Amino acid sequence: MLLRRLTFIVSHLVQLLKQITVAMLLGSGFGFAQADLPAPHCQKNLDVAVSLYNSGDNSAAEIKLNQLKERCAHWPQIHHNLGVLAAQEQQWESAVAYFEQAIQASPTTAHSLNHLRSVYQHQATQAFQTVLGHKSVGNAPELRMQNSASHALSEQTTTISQTELHDIVTVEYELYDWWQAAASKQTEAWLSHYAFGYPPMENNDAARVEWQQVERDIAFTQNDTVVVLQYEVMAEQKLTMLFMRVQNNRWKIYRETQF
């Protein structure tokens, strides 16, 4: 009788351990810390997600990638691919965030760097067309997913150089977004345009002056951008000089002077 009872208890313990193991693998809320999945598991499921995307099943691909992003966070391709899906839905801020996560996971991912730059340029085009009152915002950038073999390839690819960001469109977009954030009192978004640790100057003029009324002169040095803004507020001429430098693949203001 005692032996039968012990056998029953052991059997139930084995079943419970099996359930806990499955729950940990599926993230089913048993409260256990979720460890990183083994590389072969990440690789296999990453390639499954890319195959789903290539077959036109974007929804299934997104579900698979979202299942992987926490426990395969060290795989930049997963964040990159979520960025591609977000961009296809025109969720540009999410796309930027995913591409930046891919770059953080592996700074040598030139593919993600180039995609991030393409999204910035498309956002700039959208912003300017909207300001001009045009309905057409141009074609969305062509973005591609990465499979498990893409990481090795990207390690051998030259990363995007700082000089590749030395173009008017990229700087103009950052300036436009900075001005709009100041005008709408979006403090967090406004501060994101400044270099870390730099105390920005309060900008009350943005709420009074439309961006298209601001004259802009942009000049590039080897590492920096010098921007001169001229506009009028209540019959008073204003002039602001900005010095910008690339940080985390974006132009950031590190010095601001008003005259």
Domains annotated on the chain, with CATH: 39-160 (1.25.40.10), 168-258 (3.10.450.50)
| Span 101-120, pLDDT tens digits | 887 777 556 677 777 777 77
Between strands 224-233 and 250-258, the pairing is unpaired
Q: How many Å apart are CA 144 and CA 152, to the nearest integer?
A: 16
**What is the b/e burial string over 193-219, where b = at least 16 CB atoms within 10 angstroms of the residue's CB?**
bbeeeeeeeebebbeebebeebebebe
pLDDT at 16: 45
- Give me the residue label for tokens 């001429």: 237
Kindly indicate the confidence band of residue 73, based on its pLDDT and cuts at 50, 70 and 90. confident
Contact 61, 85 (CB under 8 A): yes
Instruction: Indicate whether 232 pLDDT > 90.
Output: yes
SS3 242: strand
pTM given for the model: 0.51
Q: What's the rounded mean pLDDT across residues 11-22?
A: 48
pLDDT at 4: 53
Alpha helices by DSSP H, 141-252: 150-155, 168-183, 187-191
Candidate from 17-26, 59-68, 88-97, 142-151 with smallest mean pLDDT: 17-26
Looking at per-residue pLDDT, the higher value among 12 and 257 belongs to: 257
